[in-house]
Chain A
Amino acid sequence: MILKKIREQKITPIPRWRFVALHVLLFIALVVSIALGAMAFGLILRTIGDVDWEIVGRAGKGPVRGFFLILPYIWFAFLGVVLYLSEKLFSITKTGYRYKSYMFVLLSIALSLIIGSILYFAGAAHFVENKLADSVRPYAKWLEKNEQMLVAPDEGTLAGMIISVNKEKELMIVDFMQHKWIVDISNAIYKKDFKPQVGRPVGAIGEKTGENTFRADKIMPWRPNNPPPIFKDMQIPPPLPLPPLPLKTDGTLPMD
């Protein structure tokens, strides 16, 4: 009776190539999901890897709070979604069901960590982030907001771009909120081989001394290996007029 129905309805076996194509697609989807997980991890490293933790601690009013302030939750959420999808994809492969879910998830996390780290150190994460910022405006805004969180002059932190240098005694910087500052660096400790140079991103720890003045105790390059996309959009405004140098008691200028 079954054969009769097969003949009547002209049922034929599905061609083998369709099953092969399906399995290949599934495999590709699985590899892509693992690659996306690795990229997400690379972007997480990009956000937390190059930052000065002293600034983060000061801006966040404590190291722990600062750490949670800077975490890129969006990429953690993306990583979670991708891990979930890759686990589901793995479970429907021919032999995937034979393994417990947690084993595959652990393996995926390990792969994301290893490949993500390679992508970060190779500069690929930075490249991807810049491309994303260029093409997805809300993402660029989110990145800006993240950098702006570390600008807390009242807490003693400042970050921005150098717009002028005055004999290694003062810098003028424009911060990520486009405010201009005169930063006294005459007694600052230079961290990480910092060299004051116009156009360089810079971070400073110290004390706000006025409406647009800041005394730096420590000064360092800001994300020296992977400057955030926000710097590309920053215009170097004309510097503020420098205050006159105080005259010596004999009426001559200090440099005379």
Chain B
Amino acid sequence: MVDYKTKTDAELVALTLNDQEVFLYLVNRYEAKLLRYIRRITSLSMECSEDILQEVFIKIYRNLNDFDQGLSFSSWVYRITHNEALNHLKKANNQKTVSLETDDKDTLSLIDVLQAETNIPKELDKKELQRKVRKIVSMLSPDFREILILRYLEEKDYKEISDILKKPMGTVATLVNRAKAQFKQIAEKNNLIYLPS
């Protein structure tokens, strides 16, 4: 009896090409992560996000023969998810600034990270800070919002982000820095958070 749960992603891909049923193990492995990622970058309802997720998995299945082991499977599926989610947003004409649909855990993670990078005062009320950080992040340009989500919420390293967004690693590093700079700028400009110099 083959224990598919212990197989690597690449092994499961190879097995799926011979037996469709094995694809279920890949779906189970990634559906929660990808659904959360879709919700983070699109801010759509659960129902819409699930529809996108379904399209993503169908696309992954159809393109399995294009999976190149020079890339990690995780980066590859995230790339497909990213493109599919953005295509959906373009069709729905939803590219304007959207409020970031994150749970409190997400916002707290962001705060922890940004607190270290932007000198957000620690004594601010947590709830109030969460509200303000959510507002600031929603005001970031889509590229910067996306990079912060990948870096700090999805916890991807620069190589993975480079593979997902198909940008050079140097560009990814620059985008992360600029995203943080824009965050700081918006925070100060809108008096949302006082950042001591």
Contact = CB atoms under 8 A, between A and B. Distances in A.
A98 B65 contact: no
Interface in A1-23: 1-3, 5-7, 11-16, 18-19
A31 to B, nearest CB: 21
Nearest to A12: B62
Interface residues of A, number: 21
Contact of A94 (B20, B58, B70): B70
A9 to B, nearest CB: 8
Contact of B66 (A7, A14, A100): A14
Given A11-B62, A14-B66, A15-B65, A99 B21 contact: no
A2 B62 contact: no
Nearest to A19: B66
Interface string A170-202: 000000000000000000000000000000000
A73 interface: no
A27 interface: no
A83 B32 CA distance: 43
Contact of B169 (A1, A11, A95, A98): A98
B70 A97 contact: no
Interface in B43-76: 54, 57-58, 61-66, 68, 70
What range describes how many residues of B lie at the interface? Answer: 20 to 34
B27 interface: yes
Interface string A61-99: 000000000000000000000000000000100110111
B20 A99 contact: no
A100 to B, nearest CB: 5
B13 to A, nearest CB: 10
A6 B168 contact: no
B64 A13 contact: yes
A198 to B, nearest CB: 62
A95 B163 CA distance: 9
A95 B159 CA distance: 12
Contact of A98 (B27, B62, B168): B168
Given A3-B21, A12-B62, A14-B66, 15 more contacts: A1-B54, A2-B61, A3-B23, A3-B27, A5-B54, A6-B58, A7-B20, A11-B61, A13-B65, A19-B66, A94-B68, A94-B70, A97-B167, A98-B162, A100-B168
27 contacts: A1-B54, A2-B57, A2-B58, A3-B21, A3-B23, A3-B27, A5-B54, A6-B58, A7-B20, A11-B58, A11-B61, A11-B62, A12-B62, A13-B61, A13-B64, A14-B65, A15-B65, A16-B66, A19-B65, A19-B66, A91-B166, A97-B162, A97-B168, A98-B168, A98-B169, A99-B168, A100-B171
For the complex of A and B, list the 8 residue pairs with the smallest distance between their C-beta atoms, beginning with the closest: A97-B166, A16-B65, A19-B66, A13-B64, A2-B57, A100-B168, A13-B65, A14-B62
